[in-house]
Amino acid sequence: MGDFTHRFSDVPGSTSLVEHEVHLTSDVPVRSKPYPIPFQARESLKKDIDNMLKMGVIRESSSPYSSPVVVVKKKDGTNRVCIDFRKVNKITVFDPEPMPTATDLFRQLTGSKIFSKIDLSKGYWQIPVREEDIPKTAFATPDGTYECLRMPFGMVNSGATLTRGMRKMLKGMKNVVYYWDDLLVHTETFAEHLETLRELFSRLTKANLTVRPSKCILGTDNVDFIGHSLKEGQRGLLLENVTKILNAPRPETKKQVRSFLGLAGYYREFIPNFAAITAPLSDMTRKGCPNRILWGPAQEKAYQTVRDLMSRDPVLRLPDTAKEFILRTDASDEGIGAMLMQEHGGKPFPVSYASKKLSGAEKNYSTMEKECLAIVWGIKKFELYLQGVKFVLQTDHKPLTYLNSAKFVNNRIMRWVMYLQNFDMRVESIKGSDNVGADFLSRVCD
């Protein structure tokens, strides 16, 4: 890797892979009134502006466009300059570039034993703005107006442009996945890993992209990536994020409950029937409920159950598309749950959990209908893995083993049966006591 030491730099490069374009639905310039900047924040703002000028990220501007600037204090006490592009974003034509999903990324990691994480240095700033679009990025500060020569944060299509650039750079390359400006090299052998790293850094050099030295981790058997802890064949929760959730004070308002559910919900696929467990909390955020949460035994139980399950350091297996998938589903009066599994060493291990709180109408379904709803919903949830392959459907409701032969008079169930005909599955009946993942926690709120 000695040939690529020049790629390690905190100074952003400038790529020719792609330019950021800003297509607007109106030719009328958008100009917003500047926000007042606190006096104690102006010195740090000026330093940031001077630094961006020095790096060639911005230049002085006389553009008819102008977006306001806000200075946000970071956790370490320093300030971050943010440009409020909301008015420009409202008239920007949306870029439909597909974004990578966590599900797609984790699917590709099966069998990998060695990892390297590469973080681009200020990834957005390594992409130039198309010359004719530069005036649209203008922003006002107490010391003058500037415009962006490099792609700024906050523009509606910035993520799409970055993704397009990464896709172009990595086209045809194996054993590398990316999420925004983070890259992950994953291989089975060390020799293969070195070869992949050389190819990646050759492409980074050709694209004139730099990587941040302090954020790069090379040749390790475990790594943290997009909020998950990864090692051979499995992924777990990122301890740093779990600690934040566990140390957060008990929510007291609607906003705080939504924040807690949002943080915990990022890991909902690690928790069987997350939706049913948290129903007493999410119900408190509905329209018409008081802003101050009426905390009772049900809310306390839901809150503590989620915290307890997350503190147990749950682990999921990475999906292996060469192996048969097993889907377990179940329904309760409050929600439905599904658990996708695969066997390793003769034992089933969870790949992912999914859950859904029943709507008012769905709560009136018969037991049979709820069980069928759980199956249909579970298959739809994991359709990416189950479409076009033979899999096992396990359920603790025996009548469902006759799905392929029984004649139902209920039109709703008939529609579901027709949908299920698109899948090649073998139905197995299991005892409720064996359906721990999908069944036990689906009844937490009963």
The verdict on 324 and 190 lying in the same domain is no
pLDDT digits (tens, 9 = 90+) for 208-226: 999 999 999 999 999 999 9
Q: Report pLDDT for 430.
A: 77
Same domain, 324 and 209: no
Q: Note whether 212 and 85 are same-domain residues.
A: yes
67: nearest Cα among 154, 164, 126, 178: 154
For residue 256, give the 3-state DSSP assignment. Answer: helix
Q: What is the CATH number of the domain that holds 411?
A: 3.30.420.10
Q: Is 230 among the domain residues? A: no
126-139 pLDDT, tens digit per residue, is 999 999 999 999 99
In this prediction, residue 432 carries a pLDDT of 57
Q: What residue type is 248 in one-letter code?
A: A
Instruction: Tell me whether residue 231 is in a domain.
Output: no
Within this chain, do residues 329 and 254 fall inside the same structural domain, yes or no? no
Overall number of domains in the chain: 3
Of residues 340, 334, 360, 237, the one with CA closest to residue 277: 334
pLDDT at 438: 44
Confidence of residue 440 (pLDDT cuts 50, 70, 90): very low
Say if residue 127 is in the same domain as residue 271: no
Q: What is the CATH number of the domain that holds 279?
A: 3.30.70.270
Structure tokens at 88: 């420009």
| Residue 243 and residue 117 share a domain | no
Let me know if residue 257 belongs to a domain: yes
Over 60: is that where the pLDDT of 8 sits?
yes
3-state helix, strand, coil in the chain (%, to 5): 40, 25, 35
Question: Do 398 and 439 have their domain in common?
Answer: yes
Q: Is the residue at 232 inside a domain? A: no
- Return the pLDDT at 316: 95
- Identify the domain containing residue 434 by its residue range: 315-443
**Same-domain pairing of 91 and 10:** yes
- Kindly report the CATH number assigned to the domain that includes residue 61: 3.10.10.10
Q: What residue has token string 């051979």?
A: 232
pLDDT digits (tens, 9 = 90+) for 224-283: 999 999 998 999 999 999 998 999 899 999 999 999 999 999 999 999 889 989 999 999
328 and 299 share one domain: no
